[in-house]
Chain A
Amino acid sequence: EAQVTQNPRYLITVTGKKLTVTCSQNMNHEYMSWYRQDPGLGLRQIYYSMNVEVTDKGDVPEGYKVSRKEKRNFPLILESPSPNQTSLYFCASSWALGANVLTFGAGSRLTVL
């Protein structure tokens, strides 16, 4: 089944403890991206990647890192999480920029205490 898989789905952690949220797609998509969803603010783009080894900042990249060493994986790294990063995170992928449907993962709910 074609899908975007995120792990973990739920995580509670403490301030400053590094964590990684993994994202993997099995559709050979070139484009991948990360979003966070917060009440009253909607979905905002954190980082995106046009292809392997090509990443760029979205609207809210502060406090996050990403890497794209292989086409199928696009992990989101929080080096030193803070409570304001408590949010629902989504990974998404598509064939390329522009004309293609974006497929979303099921989401990862992160709580930073």
Chain B
Amino acid sequence: KQEVTQIPAALSVPEGENLVLNCSFTDSAIYNLQWFRQDPGKGLTSLLLIQSSQREQTSGRLNASLDKSSGRSTLYIAASQPGDSATYLCAVRALQGGSEKLVFGKGTKLTVNP
């Protein structure tokens, strides 16, 4: 059974710092891995999607990497801003036993202090 773990559960940094969020998964047979942002009381916003054949994706100050063989992904946020404060979730998408599965980690709550 696929399990997704995100470490740390919470992170507090000063504005301007570069930071890395970690995501690990137990089964490497995945279609893709997606990073989401969730603001309090709101839905999920997709940040980056990495296909299983890709190593990384970039969007603005965000860079996500994927190492399927080791079951790891990282989300790098450059020059963090208070507006980056949110919970960040990773999810792996895979077909297992004929059923589509999307498995989420429990998230990392990020606070960027002015």
Listed in ascending order, the chain A residues whose CB lies under 8 Å from chain B are 31, 33, 35, 40-45, 48, 50, 56-59, 90, 92, 97-107
Binds A, one of B11-19, B21-29, B40-48, B71-79: B40-48
Q: Return the 4 tightest CB-CB contacts between A and B, nearest first.
A: A42-B106, A43-B104, A104-B44, A98-B31
Main SS at interface, chain B: strand
Contact check, B44 vs A48: say whether CB atoms are below 8 A apart. Answer: no
Is B89 part of the contact surface with A, judged by Cβ < 8 Å?
yes
Taken together as a complex, chains A and B put the C-alpha atoms of A105 and B46 apart, in Å, by 11
Q: Across the interface, do A102 and B31 meet the contact criterion of CB distance under 8 Å?
A: no
Q: Which residue of B lies closest to A106 (CB)?
A: B43
- How many whole Å from B31's CB to the nearest CB in chain A? 4
The reply to whether B43 and A42 contact each other, CB–CB distance below 8 Å, is no
Binding site for A on B (CB under 8 A): 31-32, 34, 36, 41-46, 49, 51, 89, 91, 93, 95, 99-107
A103-B46, A104-B43 given; name 14 further pairs at CB < 8 Å: A42-B89, A42-B104, A42-B105, A56-B100, A97-B95, A100-B49, A101-B34, A102-B34, A102-B91, A102-B102, A104-B36, A104-B46, A106-B42, A106-B43
